[in-house]
Structure 1
Amino acid sequence: MIDLSLSVLAGASLCVFVGAVIRGFTGFGFGIAATPLLVLLFPPAEIVPPILILQVLAGIQIYLRTRGHVDWKLLWSTLVGALVGIPLGSLVLDLLDSNTMRLIIGVAVLLAAALLASGFRFKMRPPHWLSGGLGILAGIGSGAAGIPGPPVIVLFLSSPVSLAIGRASLSAFFLFVATLSSASAAWRGLMTLDSVVLGALLMAPLLIGNHFGDKLFARVNERTFRRVALLLLFAIGVSTIARGFWDSGAAH
């Protein structure tokens, strides 16, 4: 039974609000910001389904505002690649344990962040085989460790498209992945009544924070946006590696 006391809900609302501001601002990052805080209030197994619900709601809210900026020509091949990669990620777990996968993905994320920090940009629109390939890598990361974002973040932040188009496309991609993950969790029976109730109770701080982050995006320049995105990428990489070492040590 999930603890739904007033003090716990107040703390959870603050965690969700912070994560939602980041999600609304960058188009990604809700999970990396909110999850470490929420697991201090709830058992990890209980908080994952509500987070999936909130990610879908956050994605829908931003998509409705930015759908006119989505670069579908680049996004479709990425989505197809992700669909291919997700089951491949599950197969990879038959060869490597999840902690080893987290360490590999964490190092890859840090390398990707370093690449972006170096100022790397594609001179031309990436071809479909490349965007599809990065989508496959994102799907493998999702299927193996629940971390789909970094390859796609690099793709859209390095492509010769405007910042608004890159952010909108990223947001649409994460909406797709969150919806797919939520459907999978429901099919496996992980979406309990408590999950739905907690997701509903946290909807208000999510939507408010998401809206605030979206408005904040309109007030900053590209340099500031890229700095925030890079900080999030580095945070994802470091936290993923730390979790791989921590869980591996706990298992022994």
Structure 2
Amino acid sequence: MEPLIPVILGASLCAGFIQGFSGFGSVLVALPILLTVLDVRAAVPLVSLVALSINVVMVLRLHGHIERGSMKMLLLGSVPGMAVGAWLLEGASDSLIKGLLGAIILAMVTQSVTTTKPRAHIGKGWTLAAGFLSGCIGPVTGANGPPVIAWAARQPWGRDALRATLTFYFLLTGIGIVGIQSAQGLVSFDILKLYALALPALLGGLWAGGAACGKVNERTFRAVVLTLLGIIGLTMVWQAGKAALGAL
């Protein structure tokens, strides 16, 4: 148990920095680190609480830049998606969902990198679909970001609007995710103690990430976002493939 505390602090620091810089990615960075010292049923609710705290802080900073019309459509799609996610949490495998989602993200990143067309506002149907997929995977993995991040990367927004809209969405859906996990008995007193331990490192990472973001231009910011998306997509496909091979 000796490495438990430094690993949790390191995961929290990294999660705060990534989220402070880009507006997303905290769960996808912290979860693999936490899984080296915790099992899934402990790591997922812990990282969900960490992400929720991050988003509270960031919404207070960025609330004036939120794209509210798009936010409403995302939430409208997420509500039925969360109902499906609650059912999946009862025991259904998420490896196929991860694999398909990772492939979709990689396709969208490829299109964003190779297309010569300017970014444009995406239709309501795609917005609803992104919200629904996000709602489905959130309760199961604690990481509801990839569908919405890929959707947001195609919007013609500046970095503040992108970070603010993603953060506010993740705050609202994070409340639902933690609520579902609590109802399933995953948010125990031991998890809350680990969460309290993680808070100082988390806040330090958020401050550092926000400071770093202010030093890069819009083009560099977009490149970093697309790179993170590519890593997320590849990781999800790799995890799904590993799970499939292990089941053979």
Give TM-score scaled by structure 2 length: 0.89
Cα distance in 2 for partners of 1:108, 1:93 equals 22
Counterparts of residues 152-191 of structure 1 (less than 5 Å): 152-191=148-187
Change (3 A) 1:45 1:90: closer
Partner of 2:83: 87
Partner of 1:200: 196
Identical counterparts, % of pairs: 25
Alpha-carbon contact 2:45-2:142 (below 8 Å) kept: no
Aligned length: 246
**Secondary structure of 2:153's aligned partner:** helix
Alpha-carbon contact 2:142-2:177 (below 8 Å) kept: no
The partner residue of 2:234 within 219, 230, 238 is: 238
Amino acid corresponding to residue 202 of structure 2 in structure 1 = L
CA positional deviation for 1:99: 1.9
Amino acid corresponding to residue 237 of structure 2 in structure 1 = I
The partner residue of 1:78 within 74, 78, 88 is: 74
Partner of 2:225: 229
The partner residue of 2:144 within 139, 145, 148 is: 148
Counterparts of residues 95-114 of structure 1 (less than 5 Å): 97-114=93-110
CA positional deviation for 1:90: 5.9
CA positional deviation for 1:121: 4.2
**Secondary structure of 2:73's aligned partner:** helix
Counterparts of residues 59-74 of structure 1 (less than 5 Å): 59-74=55-70
Change (3 A) 1:145 1:109: farther
> Which 5+ residue runs of structure 2 have no aligned equivalent?
none
Alpha-carbon contact 1:138-1:152 (below 8 Å) kept: yes
**Secondary structure of 1:184's aligned partner:** helix
CA positional deviation for 1:223: 1.7
CA positional deviation for 1:170: 0.8
RMSD of Structure 2 on Structure 1 (CA): 2.3
CA positional deviation for 1:132: 2.2
Deviation string 1:132-188 (CA, Å, 9 cap, x unpaired) is 232223323436665432332233222222221111101111222222111111111
Partner of 1:247: 243
1:43 aligns with 2:39: yes
CA positional deviation for 1:57: 0.4
Cα distance in 2 for partners of 1:91, 1:109 equals 24
Partner of 1:54: 50
**Secondary structure of 2:186's aligned partner:** coil
**Secondary structure of 1:158's aligned partner:** coil
Cα distance in 2 for partners of 1:197, 1:147 equals 21
The runs of at least 4 consecutive aligned structure 1 residues that moved more than 4 Å come to 89-94, 143-147
Alpha-carbon contact 1:85-1:143 (below 8 Å) kept: no
Cα distance in 1 for partners of 2:141, 2:37 equals 22
Alpha-carbon contact 2:158-2:218 (below 8 Å) kept: no
Change (3 A) 1:145 1:51: closer
**Secondary structure of 1:235's aligned partner:** helix
Partner of 1:115: 111
Cα distance in 2 for partners of 1:218, 1:180 equals 31
Amino acid corresponding to residue 106 of structure 1 in structure 2 = G
Deviation string 1:200-223 (CA, Å, 9 cap, x unpaired) is 000000011012111211111112
Change (3 A) 1:143 1:108: farther
Deviation string 1:116-145 (CA, Å, 9 cap, x unpaired) is 22255443x334344223222332343666
Cα distance in 2 for partners of 1:57, 1:116 equals 31
Alpha-carbon contact 1:21-1:212 (below 8 Å) kept: yes
Cα distance in 2 for partners of 1:217, 1:168 equals 13
Alpha-carbon contact 2:27-2:142 (below 8 Å) kept: no
